[in-house]
A and B are shown apart, each in its own frame.
Chain A
């Protein structure tokens, strides 16, 4: 049933917009030729949404660059890339000259790059960016600006306000949407997006995907969406192509891929992703790591990690096989077995059943937050003379207890104050008012010497540790791992012999999976991958036997497939070291996985306040607050015909925390808001749905009995953004 040797082809060709044949991208290096894209062939259909999925370092960005002949030197591109224009002419992309290429890139195929949010010129208003682009391509400026206004409205932005802003005045999500509008300005037929949403939080990612769908229909676009996040594209795409080790391994319609994927790698990817429905015990990380371009395994490149691999896989490269579905092809000898041998976790979904796992938390809190507030003075006036200073209400009146062996996941959008709350809890941020107590002692009183307690500040300091979000800056780039880990022990346990010290470090490194430990210890941070750096950061946090570790988006920068593994490791270390975690995330599914495995809690934060808190599984399966429901909506489901419901929000941008809305802070976006919500603010109180779970608390009038004034007040309509609900 093999179709062709190692290449993927389709039956029909008339509706193909971009054809690629044997495209390779390679770099000549001292160590040999490094092929970062290896003879791939794929046809892209007109007006489809094609998702391209791969781990970091699988060559997916190279594929995008190759399509536009934009591979940066010294990389070279070979093969054929043909673009079929709507008028029937064909363009050979790789043979275009500089001038033709420049026009092709904006007018036929345009691209939104990863990290392109930083590519705005900070001294130029957004309008200037649009005008520059129009002028550079000899387009009529007035007509173009009209189109820009239309496009900006399509991406839920206020065109007039945005056009006259400077880039720094916009949030990350807004900038990304401006970029999408900008890339569509010259009416291209194809839009290529390389991880366009990776730096944004989940809610914004989902909102952008939703509007992308509208744009695609309105402007008859062909969209190529490149990401490491399979569930994210699954919902949006018509077809998905999976890239592994610089080659496509499976291509097919999205429903096929989700329900009957037949490549072991795709199935493993599906099982590695935390979702809200998959039983926790069925998620498993993919063992091993993806190969280096210099050293791709022989035969099937996936064989070192594949549970079905046999002799043939090692010696021979598999061709593409067609499955029962015409358009679904797989590069695996044993694709028929894969379906039966590797069951998909999301097929066994257990929606609705909320079982509460008992954790082994103690009664006595380790940390107590008492009416905690953190306000920042945002003083951008000159010498305090002109303009008034503004107060940012980052964290407002929070009461919270954290117990021994506890896990508390704090979930919310960027800008909701979750990081500030986390840092204030571990005494890295001094509160404006209120107290943080460590086993009953006010930490800041101890630090300032105002406390009678005989506990030293230093001991408290060391008991509260942190793992940062960005693996790139979490380790000192100038010293070897060994030195980074050894120095704290040397300083605090100076009586420990060098032998003991090192054996402790090597033991820990080995435990977090960095083997051989002695070799890893001799490396510099730049020689480690993102995931490996995070493990070293975890090891460092554990050196002092801490009571609480703040994990600030500690897995968000990692590939989806590595997150489960990292979280598993953190949980298993909890048992060994008796630590509690405060886990900050914008992703409800990660929070559920992390907190749910040990009976922890989830707290949902919005604009400095906790709006819902409760046992993880209870909050996920039985959310009470409209905002929690929105977050739940934003978490992609691995279900092809899943919810096509409208965006359950009246406004997709979070308001400025400088002037938080009156009453319930969520009322400007809440779909359930009534006039009462604008006036009074609800308190965080136990839910009264009679299920007896005391710990589940929510701050919303919806949860109040029928005689509450909320129910008799009028529904708020969204007069200020009519574009949103069409």
Chain B
């Protein structure tokens, strides 16, 4: 062991090393400001530069408004609300037309939105969170835990999705929209979990992960700081993908009549239009077109945001952003 004098000597040299540096003490307010700047403001600006994110976010924002404010503004429709099968763009009262029994199509679309969003969020978040948890934990810890989780994932992966959903839907008859969402992604997470696991296995080999390990940093730190940021672009892309999956799956299943018709849904609209041969009759075309356009639009919005998100996690883009901020403030100062 080193002698006491040696230690104090060492401390002195160390002390002299740190002299001359007194970074200003940051107040709580400063810290909050730095946090907001680094975690909210600058990522947002970085995303905003990309036209894809701008357009995508606008579209998604439109849908959120439609789901929250929409139902309050647009009156709930009822049977005989308007004339039967009036095409779109004919009257101001029913701009998107009416169906066979006089429902206003605009109102149907808007009132289906809240449930739809709830379902999408429920399904996508459930699948991605489960996939990330399972994938990271099994990839990082290895050993027995890995074995159990991988087996579980493989089983989920190999059960055919559609029959499973049909059976579960028949047993549980889910009514809450977010439960429907979860049901729709009940085994969709497995593929993602596998992909994440194999990526974690690669990242685990990186020297900086080993360095964190030798510093005895807690597992939560290593996962949060060293592993997840590398996966974030991938995870977010999959979140958007999963959202689209939920939309398409729900539309398809409502259309086929497999899910109970409990809430308004664009799939139900499609189903009704189809029941009345809208796909073969040109004069009823609008009835089918409205839900299709809405579904297409939200899907495009999700894709665009997913593509633009990539930038936020790219350190090169972030560094360039920092630099451009510096130079512009310098210019401001002059």
Q: Chain A interface (Cβ within 8 Å of chain B)?
A: 364, 404, 426, 428, 458, 461-462, 464-466, 468-470, 473-479, 484, 487-488, 491-492, 497-499, 502-504, 506-508, 510-511, 517-518, 522-527, 537, 540-541, 543-544, 576-578
B281 contacts chain A at the CB level, 8 A cutoff: no
B211 touches A466 (CB 8 A): yes
B25 CB contact (under 8 Å) in A473, A491, A499, A523: A499
A503 touches B22 (CB 8 A): yes
B216 contacts chain A at the CB level, 8 A cutoff: yes
Q: Which 5 A-B pairs give the minimum distances between C-beta atoms?
A: A507-B18, A468-B207, A478-B229, A503-B21, A461-B216
A499 touches B23 (CB 8 A): yes
> From DSSP, what is the main secondary structure of chain A's interface residues?
helix
Residues of chain B within 8 A (CB-CB) of A464 are 214
Min distance, Cβ B7 to any Cβ of chain A, angstroms: 9
| CA–CA, A95 and B217, complex, Å | 59
**Stretch of B116-124, B248-256, B260-268, B312-320 at the chain-chain interface:** B312-320
Residues of chain B within 8 A (CB-CB) of A487 are 217, 221, 225
Residues of chain B within 8 A (CB-CB) of A527 are 319
| Cβ-closest chain B residue relative to A552 | B207
B218 CB contact (under 8 Å) in A491, A523, A576: A491
Which residues 212-252 of B have a CB within 8 angstroms of A?
213-218, 221, 225-226, 229-230
A476 CB contact (under 8 Å) in B26, B213, B214, B226: B226
**Stretch of B9-17, B72-80, B146-154 at the chain-chain interface:** B9-17
B214 CB contact (under 8 Å) in A461, A522, A525: A461
* Residue of B18, B221, B225, B318 contacting most chain A CB atoms (<10 Å): B18
Chain B window 184-222, contacts with chain A (Cβ cutoff 8 Å), 1 for yes, 0 for no? 000000000000000000000011101101111110010
A478 touches B6 (CB 8 A): no
Min distance, Cβ A364 to any Cβ of chain B, angstroms: 8
Residues of chain B within 8 A (CB-CB) of A518 are 23
Residues of chain B within 8 A (CB-CB) of A522 are 322
A543 touches B225 (CB 8 A): no
B2 contacts chain A at the CB level, 8 A cutoff: yes
Chain B window 1-44, contacts with chain A (Cβ cutoff 8 Å), 1 for yes, 0 for no? 11000100010011001111111111000000000000000000
| CA–CA, A469 and B207, complex, Å | 9
| CA–CA, A234 and B181, complex, Å | 70
Min distance, Cβ B15 to any Cβ of chain A, angstroms: 9
Residues of chain A within 8 A (CB-CB) of B226 are 476
Contact A465/B210 with A491-B221, A524-B318, A578-B6 known, Cβ cut-off 8 Å: no
A473 CB contact (under 8 Å) in B1, B19, B206, B216: B206
B18 touches A503 (CB 8 A): yes
A498 CB contact (under 8 Å) in B26, B207, B214: B26
Chain B window 302-322, contacts with chain A (Cβ cutoff 8 Å), 1 for yes, 0 for no? 000000000001011011001
Contact A476/B225 with A540-B211, A576-B13 known, Cβ cut-off 8 Å: yes
B208 touches A475 (CB 8 A): yes
| CA–CA, A475 and B26, complex, Å | 26
| CA–CA, A503 and B221, complex, Å | 23
| CA–CA, A578 and B3, complex, Å | 12
| CA–CA, A497 and B313, complex, Å | 30
Min distance, Cβ A419 to any Cβ of chain B, angstroms: 12
Chain B window 144-175, contacts with chain A (Cβ cutoff 8 Å), 1 for yes, 0 for no? 00000000000000000000000000000000
5 additional contacts (CB under 8 A) given A474-B211, A502-B21, A506-B18: A461-B215, A462-B214, A466-B214, A478-B313, A578-B2
Contact A404/B216 with A506-B21, A526-B319 known, Cβ cut-off 8 Å: no
B10 touches A526 (CB 8 A): no
Chain B window 287-303, contacts with chain A (Cβ cutoff 8 Å), 1 for yes, 0 for no? 00000000000000000
| CA–CA, A479 and B22, complex, Å | 23
Residues of chain A within 8 A (CB-CB) of B25 are 497-499
Total residues of chain B contacting the partner, CB 8 A: 38
Sample of 10 A–B contacts (CB below 8 Å): A462-B216, A466-B211, A477-B230, A478-B229, A487-B225, A510-B17, A525-B315, A544-B215, A578-B2, A578-B6
B23 touches A503 (CB 8 A): yes
| Cβ-closest chain B residue relative to A483 | B225
A507 touches B17 (CB 8 A): yes
B23 touches A526 (CB 8 A): no
Residues of chain B within 8 A (CB-CB) of A458 are 216
| CA–CA, A525 and B18, complex, Å | 23
Min distance, Cβ B319 to any Cβ of chain A, angstroms: 5
Which residues 38-68 of B have a CB within 8 angstroms of A?
none
B23 touches A506 (CB 8 A): yes
| CA–CA, A474 and B19, complex, Å | 28
Min distance, Cβ A487 to any Cβ of chain B, angstroms: 7
| Cβ-closest chain B residue relative to A507 | B18
| CA–CA, A540 and B213, complex, Å | 12
Residues of chain B within 8 A (CB-CB) of A470 are 207
| CA–CA, A504 and B20, complex, Å | 11
| CA–CA, A364 and B2, complex, Å | 11
A526 touches B315 (CB 8 A): yes
Min distance, Cβ A257 to any Cβ of chain B, angstroms: 37
A465 CB contact (under 8 Å) in B1, B19, B214: B214
Min distance, Cβ B206 to any Cβ of chain A, angstroms: 5
B211 touches A508 (CB 8 A): no
Min distance, Cβ B6 to any Cβ of chain A, angstroms: 7
| CA–CA, A523 and B207, complex, Å | 19
Residues of chain B within 8 A (CB-CB) of A510 are 17, 21
Contact A462/B22 with A479-B225, A527-B319 known, Cβ cut-off 8 Å: no
Residues of chain A within 8 A (CB-CB) of B210 are 428, 466, 468
| CA–CA, A577 and B10, complex, Å | 7
| CA–CA, A470 and B209, complex, Å | 13
B23 touches A511 (CB 8 A): no
| Cβ-closest chain A residue relative to B218 | A491
| CA–CA, A404 and B6, complex, Å | 13
| CA–CA, A465 and B216, complex, Å | 10
Min distance, Cβ B262 to any Cβ of chain A, angstroms: 44
B207 touches A473 (CB 8 A): yes
B315 touches A508 (CB 8 A): no
Residues of chain B within 8 A (CB-CB) of A477 are 230, 315
Residues of chain B within 8 A (CB-CB) of A469 are 207
B10 touches A578 (CB 8 A): yes
Min distance, Cβ B10 to any Cβ of chain A, angstroms: 6
Min distance, Cβ B147 to any Cβ of chain A, angstroms: 14
Min distance, Cβ A389 to any Cβ of chain B, angstroms: 18
B214 touches A428 (CB 8 A): yes
Residues of chain B within 8 A (CB-CB) of A484 are 208
Residues of chain B within 8 A (CB-CB) of A517 are 21
| CA–CA, A47 and B206, complex, Å | 45
| CA–CA, A93 and B159, complex, Å | 62
| CA–CA, A508 and B24, complex, Å | 18
Min distance, Cβ A568 to any Cβ of chain B, angstroms: 17
